[in-house]
Amino acid sequence: MLVVDDEHLVADSLCQILNSFGFNAYCAYSGPHAIRLATSAPFDALITDVVMTGMTGIETALEIWKILPKCKVMLVSGHQGTADLLKAAQERGHDFEIFAKPVYPALIIEKLRAITPAILQ
């Protein structure tokens, strides 16, 4: 599981929570950092903030799909402006589900268990 957020505290906290629930979570603090990690490990799921400095979470997800095409993606955002980014991705044939920040850990755990049943039940 790969968690990406340019706010280190958010990424670190979510990784800690996921690891405490039995997931094997790693943190990245930017899109390029996440892509580097994805080239070295077969992540089953990606949780990424949408609005990040330099590279958006959507751009990050699309690049990671090139490396790990079966990776499941969850987007999270605390910004209202993500609708335009999602619309642009949908126009290119990508359908993402987005969760508004703050996302409660129980919701993330529930969703991860649903989309990656082989990881943890």
**pLDDT tens, residue by residue, 22-67:** 899 999 999 999 999 999 988 999 999 998 999 999 899 999 999 9
Q: Residues 8, 53: contact at Cβ < 8 Å?
A: no
Contacts of 8 (CB under 8 A, 6+ apart): 27, 29
Cβ neighbours around 82 below 10 Å, total:
21
Q: What token pair was written down for 100? A: 């508004």
Q: What angle do CA 33, 11, 27 make, to 5 degrees?
A: 40
Write the single-letter amino acid at 96.
F
Q: What is the CATH number of domain 2-104?
A: 3.40.50.2300
Q: pLDDT class for 82, splitting at 50, 70, 90?
A: low
Read off the pLDDT of each residue in 84-93 and give the average, rounded to a whole number. 66
pLDDT tens figures, 107-120: 888 888 887 765 54
* Coil, helix or strand at residue 105: helix
CB hemisphere CA count around 15 (13 angstroms): 19
